[in-house]
Amino acid sequence: MITYDQPLRIAYQLDAADVSSTADLLKIAGPKGREGRVQSISSVVTTGITVAATDIDVGDGTTGDKYATLALPISSADAIANDPTILTGDAVPIPADSLVVISTDGAATAGAANVVVVIDWF
């Protein structure tokens, strides 16, 4: 039995995700009947991010950053970002059996990053 003390932790990895155009990068569904909470988002830039910072968002398909967001600043390859704003406290859990969308706002004119989103499922 899964409990809050021992959740099912799943890491969703996106390799070289293009962050230069608004797009859904990955759509996922958690394990049947389980509520989720984003635990972390981290990234390593693989192609320099230029002109403007861009965001990696975790949302519900309607509100892009409903659960969490990670700002990726203008940066060169190998830059690390790992300080997300996580909004999945007790007030905003990911509902059981719902769509979760990892997306980018595409504000940068160029750039790609390896992105890892970790979600605990209860």
Q: How many domains does the chain have?
A: 1
Q: What is the pTM of this model?
A: 0.92
In a domain, 23, yes or no: yes
In a domain, 59, yes or no: yes
In a domain, 43, yes or no: yes
Which pair of tokens denotes residue 62?
């309607």
Q: Is the dihedral of CA 52, 84, 11, 60 positive or negative?
A: negative
Distance separating alpha carbons of residues 18 and 73, to the nearest angstrom: 14
Which pair of tokens denotes residue 52?
């403007």
In a domain, 1, yes or no: no
Per-residue pLDDT of the chain (122 residues; tens, 9 = 90+): 556 678 999 999 999 999 999 999 999 999 999 999 999 999 999 999 999 999 999 999 999 999 999 999 999 999 999 999 998 666 679 999 999 999 999 999 999 999 999 999 99
In a domain, 3, yes or no: no
Region class of 109: left (phi > 0), else alpha (psi between -120 and 50), else beta: alpha
In a domain, 56, yes or no: yes
Instruction: State in Å, rounded, how far the first CA of the chain is from the last one.
Output: 9
DSSP 8-state secondary structure symbol assigned to residue 33: T
CATH of the domain at 70: 2.60.120
In a domain, 95, yes or no: yes
> Which residue range is the domain that position 108 belongs to?
8-121
